[in-house]
């Protein structure tokens, strides 16, 4: 089941690969040089790269790569591909420093993150194309496939794991951990409700493995790769995303509103969300949350609901659902 998110960014990446007759692995710096001037310099701040407008009309934009990346080849390759995304996705504002080591957000927290997510999706599809990954016919051994994709493409294992996971069916959670068992990055396949562990956490492997219907392990460059598949029967034992509907149901229960009351509350929140969506246009998740929160609190008939301890969670869940729809483009 291909992930529908960032459809446009990935289509542009496929076009670049097709036009250049690129086969993995290829020289990403040569490809990027056709569209931009690559410069290595010291970027003040912790950024890996920054894309700047052309110095003069008619010239190409500049991709400035931090000097520290000369020692980090995989990271530099990803940074170049990410920056080429900013150049070719014409609606991206230039001049913003990028840190490609930060975990690509599955949902945009701000408009800036939406743009960063698109540049990452472009970079993954260009350097590790979906069709190329599928051609190995090894989705039944996802951890080994993640290692193989990293080795063959010359990319780090984290973006390789993310690229592979997008091709897996629902229910898969993947984790890349360091030699001390700390989570470096984690994610899940499309349609999975289980929330993966967070980067920086100590990985509690037995707890995850215990509920898994499938367990896969491998290693790459000193990092552990774990992939688990969970059946719906594991849902009760693992952290899950909550939908606005399920939170509203809980609140309605607590307030003794009954099932009709829960439906009415869901409808009311949907109505407010539609209104907030129109007010905000291209909103950030935070902006959406603030507008929803203020609007719901201003309505006397929702006073009791707004005072409930889970009201904040309801607003966040609804805002996330609204913003997530924008990712589908």
Q: How far is the CB of 118 from Zn ion (least distance, A)?
A: 9
83 versus 192: smaller Cβ distance to Zn ion:
83
| Interface with Zn ion, residue 32, by CB under 5 A | no
- Rg of the chain on CA atoms, in Å: 22
**DSSP string of 233-257, one letter each residue:** GGGGGS-B---HHHHHHHHHHHTT-
Distances from the Cα of 185 to the Cα of 138, 162, 213, 229, 249, angstroms: 22, 9, 22, 17, 33
93 versus 191: smaller Cβ distance to Zn ion:
93
| Interface with Zn ion, residue 114, by CB under 5 A | no
Q: Report 50-89 residues binding Zn ion (CB under 5 A).
A: none
221 — alpha (psi -120 to 50), left (phi > 0) or beta?
A: left
Of 87, 98, 238, 292, the one binding Zn ion (CB under 5 A) is 98
HSE-CB for 11 with a 13 A CA cutoff: 7
Contact 114, 85 (CB under 8 A): no
Piece of the chain touching Zn ion by CB under 5 A; list 39-47, 97-105, 177-185, 312-320:
97-105
Piece of the chain touching Zn ion by CB under 5 A; list 108-116, 185-193, 197-205, 207-215:
108-116
What gap in Å lies between CA 87 and CA 182, rounded to an integer? 35
3 versus 116: smaller Cβ distance to Zn ion:
116
Residue nearest Zn ion (C-beta atom): 98
Number of residues assigned to the chain: 329
What gap in Å lies between CA 39 and CA 154, rounded to an integer? 21
Piece of the chain touching Zn ion by CB under 5 A; list 10-18, 31-39, 93-101, 125-133:
93-101
Torsion angle, alpha carbons of 220, 63, 28, 57, to 10: 170
Contact 4, 328 (CB under 8 A): yes
| Interface with Zn ion, residue 123, by CB under 5 A | no
| Interface with Zn ion, residue 119, by CB under 5 A | yes
83 versus 320: smaller Cβ distance to Zn ion:
83
107 versus 280: smaller Cβ distance to Zn ion:
107
66 versus 293: smaller Cβ distance to Zn ion:
66
| Interface with Zn ion, residue 9, by CB under 5 A | no
Q: How far is the CB of 119 from Zn ion (least distance, A)?
A: 5
Residues that bind Zn ion (CB under 5 A): 98, 116, 119
């Amino acid at each position: 089941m291909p992930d529908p998110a960032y459809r446009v960014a990935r289509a542009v990446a496929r076009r670049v690969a097709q036009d250049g007759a690129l086969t993995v692995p290829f020289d990403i710096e040569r490809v990027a040089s056709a569209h931009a001037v690559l410069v290595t310099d010291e970027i003040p701040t912790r950024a890996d790269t920054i894309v700047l407008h052309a110095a003069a009309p008619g010239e190409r934009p500049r991709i400035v790569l931090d000097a520290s990346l000369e020692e980090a080849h995989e990271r530099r390759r990803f940074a170049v591909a990410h920056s080429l995304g900013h150049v070719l996705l014409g609606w991206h504002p230039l001049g913003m420093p990028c840190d490609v080591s930060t975990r690509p957000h599955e949902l945009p927290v701000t408009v800036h993150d939406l743009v960063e997510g698109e540049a990452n999706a472009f970079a993954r599809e260009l350097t590790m194309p979906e069709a190329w990954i599928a051609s190995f016919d090894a989705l039944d051994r996802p951890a080994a496939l993640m290692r193989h994709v990293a080795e063959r493409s010359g990319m780090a294992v984290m973006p390789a794991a993310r690229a592979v996971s997008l091709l897996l069916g629902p229910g898969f959670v993947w984790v890349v951990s360091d030699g001390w068992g700390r989570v470096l990055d984690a994610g899940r396949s499309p349609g999975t409700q289980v929330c993966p562990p967070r980067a920086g956490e100590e990985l509690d492997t037995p707890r995850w493995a215990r509920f898994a219907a499938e367990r896969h392990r491998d290693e790459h460059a000193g990092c552990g790769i774990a992939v688990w598949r969970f059946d719906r029967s594991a849902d009760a034992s693992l952290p899950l995303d909550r939908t606005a509907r399920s939170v509203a149901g809980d609140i309605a229960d607590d307030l003794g509103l009954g099932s009709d009351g829960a439906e009415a509350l869901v409808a009311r929140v949907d109505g407010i969300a539609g209104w907030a969506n129109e007010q905000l246009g291209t909103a950030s998740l935070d902006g959406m949350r603030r507008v929803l929160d203020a609007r719901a609190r201003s309505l006397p008939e929702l006073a009791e609901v707004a005072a409930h301890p889970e009201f904040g969670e309801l607003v966040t869940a609804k805002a996330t659902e609204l913003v997530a729809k924008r990712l589908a483009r």
